[in-house]
Amino acid sequence: MHLARFKRISLGHFPTPLERLDNLTSLLGGPEIWIKRDDCTGLATGGNKTRKLEFLVAEAIASGADTLVTQGATQSNHVRQTAAAARKVGMTCHALLERRVTNQGEQYEQAGNVLLDDMLKCEYHFCDEGLDMNAEGLKLAESLAEKGRKPYFIPGGGSNAIGALGYANAAQELVYQADAMGLRIDGLVHATGSAGTQAGLVAGFVALNAPIPVVGISVRAKREAQVTNVHKLACATHDLIGTRGDLDVNMIEAHDDYVGPGYGQPTDAMVDAISLLAAEEGIFLDPVYSGKGMAGMIGLIQKGHFEKDESIVFLHTGGSAGLFAYPHLFSKQRGA
């Protein structure tokens, strides 16, 4: 795998740290738990979309674009990072925000990521739930082109094969770090949504011939649908990288037991996982993705999914800006 063959710009701080979670490891009594800090990518409070955008925005620049167009849920971390990337390269971001979560109180459409979108001069418009959001985003790009702009459309989550290169690169970065410290990784766990993160990781590990199982904790889709989405994108990324052979669907592992009532809807396990990581490790997760991902990892450990003497890595995909859209969830800790 030789990713310098692809266009890329620098948007973040890499490599991100790989740290041992001493307190969580001793609390759960094994396996040994490490954390890959992709919440520390640095772009406008960071997160996993930064890696994808390094490849996507390079394509946008090469195409002569002056505008990035994308879409996400109201509290999208992807839209926030895309808006920041746009400012950095002298573009404007136009975004559609889907009202996928409507029961979380007044702060939800103003605070957290939406506040940061405002500060990044993102031109966003709210949409009702249930539309084909990528199709709506393409329509928005067309209408901007008619007005003389030069838009570049980035799908939701930055999840196409070009974006997923960012996570093939992360797979390589992680293997180098682990090899340098003599760490054998027996599994990598993370929250999976639009599938680009997991697809890129799987394609990257295959290209590196480093058979590290990637465990996706779904935040939205049912298991079968998530496996299909990840597999499709992993195959496209595998082809783009130019790795030989087929990428078998059996390589894709996803769990849907931690979604709860739906995307962006709180669960007790998520609130407990976020509270635990803050109290034990001083690390902030988020209510939509990494909190459910961590709840999933803890649940799998408690079910005996990993051996006590194994070492696993939790990929922290970011999102803590979203905490401020859900202040009521954690107010009990103030004694309210």
Ligand X SMILES: *Cc1c(COP(=O)(O)O)cnc(C)c1O
Binding site for ligand X (CB under 6 A): 47-48, 77-78, 157, 159, 191-198, 286, 289-290, 317-319
Shortest Å distance, C-beta 46 to ligand X: 9
| C-beta of residue 306 within 8 angstroms of C-beta of residue 97 | no
Residue 76 known to be catalytic: yes
| C-beta of residue 55 within 8 angstroms of C-beta of residue 163 | yes
> 3-state DSSP call for residue 67?
strand
Compute and round to an integer the Cα radius of gyration of the chain: 19
| CA end-to-end distance (rounded Å), the chain | 53
Task: Tally DSSP H helices, then E strands, for the chain.
Answer: 11, 10
Q: From the candidates 10, 76, 194, 320, which is the catalytic residue?
A: 76
Query: DSSP code of 246?
Result: -
User: Which residues, other chains included, contact 63 with Cβ-Cβ below 8 Å and sequence gap of 6+?
Assistant: 150, 152
Nearest to 70 by CA among 191, 158, 199: 158
Measured distance CA(86)–CA(44) in Å, rounded: 11
Question: Would you state the structure tokens that stand for residue 63, as one six-digit string?
Answer: 């195409």
- The CA distances from residue 281 to 21, 23, 34, 46, 189, in Å, are 7, 7, 12, 19, 18
Q: Could you list the active site residues?
A: 76
